[in-house]
A = this chain, B = another copy of it.
Amino acid sequence: MVVVMTQEASQADIDAVCEKARNAGGEAFVSRGAVHTVVGLVGDTARFEAVQWTQLPGVAHVIKIGKAYKMVAADLHPEPSMVSVGQTQVGRATFTIIAGPCAVESVDQAMAATKAAKAAGATILRGDVYKPRTSPYSFQGLGEEGLEILQACRKETGLPIIVEVVDVSHVAHVAEVADCIRVGTRNAQNFELLKECGLTNKPVMLKRGLAMTIDEWLQAAEYVAQRGNSAIILCERGIRTFEPATRNTLDLAGMAAAQHESHLPVIVDPSHAVGRRHLVAPMALAAVAAGADGVMIDVHPDPERALCDGPQALLPSEMEDLGRRIAAVAAAVGRPMNLP
């Protein structure tokens, strides 16, 4: 932590800062500049943060050095992590396609989407049974029945399944059934849910919140890691901006920045980011080229009848085509595809 003094700060002001630092069990080093004097603090950051430095006379502002997350940081774990989901592994070593229906609606719909996903090269299935919907009048998911359908899809294809949890009370049960649990955008700072996920022995996918900085996203991941579960996959899915042409603004550079700051795998969900079918494939390919560790794509055998997010779901034939194009771009950037 660095305390920057105002130009008018007196020697007494500077001394007072140093004394506060010593009172908090730390040390202070003074650097006098032509204009500003700067005091560097060394010690326990948590204790320093409780001090209201900016309320001391002569203090202009305080600069925090160091990050508010540790276990998920690249600093202390420079080797990227591979996270196991069922029999497969997600991380920088391969490129993973996750696909399936946004919401599980019926056996037929889920099975058709699942087969399309596998045919396209997906090695993990997605499918949700609890849907956090903005409007209370929208379809809210099949619940337990949906979980059974997903298990049948897994049996049919041999691929692991990833399922969203929306409440602490679901976590243990979903973690038992699914191969990976997911915390969605609107719950990305539901810290009780994150803590509960940290107590399971299944990998956790954490989507970025609509208004979350990269730094806050990694702090949210730290909540999971702190409880003992560091099998975490981050998922960039668009942030909220002023632009109405797409549902959200896909932040691919943010994805790359998260990879730089953290050892965790970072994948991209272009479907929910753009919300419009014709933009899904370009953004999926862009994600591969940008170095993402995977993509997650909505597929639906009949998007027009989809009960959730139909406008962004790819048809099975479009998904297969996209799978081929992803493989071509991955080859061009020297990235091996994840194989089942």
Contacts and interface: CB of A to CB of B under 8 A. Distances in A.
A114 to B, nearest CB: 21
Contacts of A286: 252, 286-287, 289-290
Interface string A295-328: 0000000011111001100000000000001001
Interface string A56-81: 00001001011011000001000000
Contact of A260 (B187, B219, B278): B278
A229 interface: no
Interface string A186-218: 110111110000000000000001110111100
Contacts of A14: none
A69 B135 contact: yes
Contact of A249 (B35, B60, B63, B251): B251
Given A242-B211, A257-B246, A333-B329, A2 B63 contact: yes
A152 interface: no
21 contacts: A2-B2, A31-B40, A33-B42, A34-B42, A34-B43, A46-B137, A52-B310, A54-B311, A55-B311, A63-B63, A68-B137, A69-B136, A132-B191, A134-B220, A136-B223, A168-B168, A186-B190, A213-B245, A215-B244, A241-B241, A253-B282
**Top 7 A-B pairs, shortest CB-CB distance:** A31-B40, A29-B31, A211-B211, A332-B332, A289-B289, A52-B304, A186-B189
Interface of A: 2, 4, 7, 29, 31-36, 38, 40-43, 46, 50-52, 54-55, 60, 63, 65-66, 68-69, 75, 132-137, 166-169, 186-187, 189-193, 209-211, 213-216, 219-220, 222-223, 226, 239-246, 249-254, 256-257, 260-261, 273-274, 278-279, 282-283, 285-291, 303-307, 310-311, 325, 328-329, 331-333
